[in-house]
Structure 1
Amino acid sequence: MVTIQSSDVVVPSEITPTSISSLSLCDQIKLPNHGSQLYIYSNTRITDDSSFASAIHTLSTSLSKTLTVFHPLAGRLSRIHGGRLQLLCNAKGVLLVVATCNTELSFEDLCEFAPTYAVPKINYDVPIEDVPLLVAQVTRFPCGFITLGIAMFRAFLDGTSLSNFTSSWAKLARGESLDSGLTPLFDRSKLDSFKLNKPPRFEHPEFLPPPLWTKRDEVMQHELGTALMVLTKGQVQKLKNKANDFGSGHGKVPVRGFTSFEVISGHLWRCMCRVRYLGDASQPTRLNTLVNCRNRLRPSLPTAYFGNATFPTVTETCSFDDIMQKPLGYAVRKVSESIERMRDEYVRSALDYIERVEDMDLFRDTFYNSAGKGREDPNVNVVGWANFSYFKTDFGWGKPVILLPGNINSNAKAFLLDTASGDGFVVAVCLRRSYVDALKKLFFEDIEKHASKL
């Protein structure tokens, strides 16, 4: 369905520094593989082979210039003691793939179809020293759409860093100068452990195995599907009103009020418990998410810090009955509390915890996979991609009309994104395919039900 036309290595346009350096402790706990994003563009004014070839040339030359500034991204990683990783700044480059699709697709089809076929495929059958840290794939569709799929190595950068990189790449592609505020800061020692003579000062449940199904031991053989749901800001406000109403009655609502991320995540958690409920009200569950700690540290990290600065956090473990039967504000408050916990002292304690890990491969395996080794997960993992500058990623074709996760193949994983217009949110959830329709129906029905009780 998709034909690869070319696959070229793009290197920095100028000579860049060579070095070997450590990754931060925050980098080390991330999975040693790629996450991906998919930008979909319409009305691109790319109407024939000639204009497409010109666009690809501009994309490639501007990428080469961008890598001169973000030169570590053109490097490679290698393994060192204890399963840890180090960075080799060697200018080996990133991979730019160009593809075409001859199948006629509507916009709705594209949103469903493209994440599978328009995102770069990574070859992990080679030594890690040969795996690019970033691979981009441009795919042209006969309906006039262009997609840009970006696969980035999780242990090397987070959403803020990727946003800064793609914004810079797009600026150069448009012939503009780089924003001095986006000049990347590469000093990863800023996220080293500072108190190695002390044990962690807090318990860190985020690093412990998550709850498992208590009465479901069967290996999951069910096909996974994706639920894609679009919320207006009005619908989100209805959730906020109901959640804040509960919190004010219990003296627990934060002074700042609940955020959109918190209320959407809490609402999704309740709906996921309901569609997966099979009669065991005591089944334990928790919600996991990531918190950008750049502004939570003291001193804070600059926005241009290039690397991972998102730390995992988890809610208190609750029962299905608690989440399903108690008011929406109960679940939302649990999410809010898990985020509020991520302050400077707690994050420093987490760094001390990570520093003491002897086998990082075992740690990652336990952290990410203990609940998901072939079994369905009773928990929910929500990743926030809102409030980034992704929709400013205009390479001269116009701004993207939608941004999607490139692949959501992890059960009970969800992404929360802005809409292109900024007037709402997109929620993309991976779950058992047989649950998809029920989740969509319940998700929106419950919003109106909450509103009707105000």
Structure 2
Amino acid sequence: MLKLFTHSKPKKGRYCIESHSVDCSDQGADFVEAKVDVKLDDLLSQRLNFKTEVLDDLIPCPLGALDEFNDPLLSVQVSAFSCGGFAIAVCSSHRIADMSTTMSLINVWTIAAKQELGYIDETCLSISFNFDSSSLFPLKMLPGLPSGLSRDKENIEVHKIVTKMFYFSKSKISSIRERARLDDSSMLCTRVQSVFGLIGKAIIDVHVANPENPKTFTLLQAVNMRKRTVPPLPQNQFGNLYLTAIVQSEVGTERVLALGSFVDCLSKAVKGVVDACGMILSLGEEGQTMISQGTCELMKSLSDPNIYFAGTFSSWCKFPFYEADFGWGKPIWVSIPNVPMKNTVVLIDDKAGEGIEAWVCMDENDMQKFIQHSDIADILSEL
């Protein structure tokens, strides 16, 4: 672990909420070793239909532990199962790092671990992070997003949020992509947009599309800026480097949300953000404003009782989670714990890279309605 943190000094420090900065004081990250008195297969055999709260016991810290000065910015827990298998949980503060940064950190760790075991020559150079993001995008002192998280694991239940995983097979994704076409001449949407589209439409159908009470909805999708700017930012650029694609519309008596039109709106919003990434470094102050726009739009939506917040969507597809070999072999499953943040959707590729696991976090009452939606019930029927 020591070799790992020489490459990631901010993760060893502490976040200062007043100054929106990191005190790189070498207070260290947390590393926890735990024993689990069950076999790993006992957990994996239930993964398509179990309570994700079970996974919370495998993480090293309360999910809301990030704003006190003593809270570490990086916590790791290695859990040893009775069969000899292991689970590695990584908790990384989203205050200073997005998933791309965290994935790069994991890559650094795997190289260091295999060097310790003698599997990689010591002369092999691992990733070095770029820590100049603050000079590219100066601090705006924006207020933090309300996460709704508590500091104590014991208090997670008070949020009444549940997380459920829905598996989309390769054939199901192909079917959804065909359904989402506007017409026979239009191009197929991406795998990610098809899954986001189906889930987003189901959320909106259940909670917004009331003919007697039309409502506007807002939905946000995070878009990684790296490699899309001009010149391209490298994959190892440290920080929260994403823009948000925003879809907002009204549904009700005269506006029916069709899958094709919804996916088209979502795809166009993402394309607009991708195009903006190409200009953001050359626009100066205007470019910096683009980064804060999504946060401001979200805060506005959350405070407006007439706008339904349909969710924050984030795709972790194509991240090399299943290549993270610490010297014991590659992972057999990658997941997230129960995250008590309403209407949050995270997509992760399956191990084969063909199907997609969608992790959906919702109010427990809303989840009951969601799983009864015809499209979602169809997904569940395949499990």
Task: Give TM-score scaled by structure 1 length.
Answer: 0.66
The whole-number CA distance in structure 2 between the counterparts of 1:115 and 1:341 is: 37
Q: One-letter code of the match for 1:289?
A: Q
The whole-number CA distance in structure 2 between the counterparts of 1:125 and 1:435 is: 26
Aligned match of 1:234: 171
Aligned match of 2:131: 186
The whole-number CA distance in structure 1 between the counterparts of 2:361 and 2:355 is: 20
> Does 2:317 correspond to 1:380?
no
Between 1:375-384 and 1:394-403, the stretch displaced more is: 375-384
Residues 200-254 of structure 1 show CA distances to partners (whole Å, capped at 9, x for unaligned) of: xxxxxxx999xxxxxxxxxxx983322211111221111112222x1566xxx57
> Does 2:5 correspond to 1:85?
no
Q: One-letter code of the match for 1:187?
A: D
Q: 2:332 aligns with which of 401, 405, 409?
A: 401
- Is the 2:218–2:301 contact (alpha carbons within 8 Å) kept by the matching residues of 1? no
SS in 2 for 1:316: strand
Q: Tell me how large the CA RMSD over aligned residues is.
A: 3.8
Q: One-letter code of the match for 2:16?
A: S
Q: Which of structures 1 and 2 has the bigger CA Rg?
A: 1
Deviation at 1:193, TM superposition (A): 5.7
The whole-number CA distance in structure 1 between the counterparts of 2:171 and 2:289 is: 42
The whole-number CA distance in structure 1 between the counterparts of 2:199 and 2:379 is: 11
Deviation at 1:337, TM superposition (A): 1.3
Q: Where in structure 2 are the equivalents of 1:14-413 lying within 5 Å?
A: 63-79=1-17, 83-102=18-37, 105-109=42-46, 112-122=52-62, 128-142=68-82, 144-175=84-115, 176=120, 180=125, 182-189=127-134, 191-192=136-137, 223-244=160-181, 246=182, 257-276=188-207, 280=212, 282-319=214-251, 325-342=256-273, 343=276, 344-345=278-279, 348=283, 349=286, 351-352=288-289, 367=298, 371=302, 378-413=309-344
Residues 79-114 of structure 1 show CA distances to partners (whole Å, capped at 9, x for unaligned) of: 4xxx54123333222110112233574424466343
SS in 2 for 1:387: coil
- Is the 2:202–2:376 contact (alpha carbons within 8 Å) kept by the matching residues of 1? no
Deviation at 1:269, TM superposition (A): 0.9
Deviation at 1:116, TM superposition (A): 2.0
- Is the 1:106–1:143 contact (alpha carbons within 8 Å) kept by the matching residues of 2? no
Distance 1:146 1:379, change over 3 A: same
The whole-number CA distance in structure 1 between the counterparts of 2:234 and 2:165 is: 33
The whole-number CA distance in structure 1 between the counterparts of 2:254 and 2:57 is: 40
Q: One-letter code of the match for 2:261?
A: Y
Aligned match of 2:155: none
The whole-number CA distance in structure 2 between the counterparts of 1:181 and 1:96 is: 21
The whole-number CA distance in structure 1 between the counterparts of 2:66 and 2:105 is: 26
The whole-number CA distance in structure 2 between the counterparts of 1:373 and 1:103 is: 47
The whole-number CA distance in structure 1 between the counterparts of 2:306 and 2:343 is: 11
SS in 1 for 2:180: helix
Percent pairwise identity: 20
Structure 1: segments with no counterpart, 5+ residues = 1-62, 197-206, 210-220, 358-362, 449-454
- Is the 1:291–1:310 contact (alpha carbons within 8 Å) kept by the matching residues of 2? yes
Distance 1:281 1:248, change over 3 A: farther
Distance 1:354 1:417, change over 3 A: closer
Between 1:134-143 and 1:158-167, the stretch displaced more is: 134-143
The whole-number CA distance in structure 2 between the counterparts of 1:321 and 1:227 is: 31
- Is the 1:76–1:88 contact (alpha carbons within 8 Å) kept by the matching residues of 2? yes
Distance 1:93 1:329, change over 3 A: same
Distance 1:321 1:153, change over 3 A: farther
> Does 2:354 correspond to 1:423?
yes
The whole-number CA distance in structure 2 between the counterparts of 1:156 and 1:86 is: 9
Deviation at 1:415, TM superposition (A): 0.8
Residues 240-299 of structure 1 show CA distances to partners (whole Å, capped at 9, x for unaligned) of: 12222x1566xxx57xx4211111111111111233355545121122110001122211
Between 1:85-94 and 1:179-188, the stretch displaced more is: 179-188
The whole-number CA distance in structure 2 between the counterparts of 1:247 and 1:421 is: 31
Between 1:271-280 and 1:305-314, the stretch displaced more is: 271-280
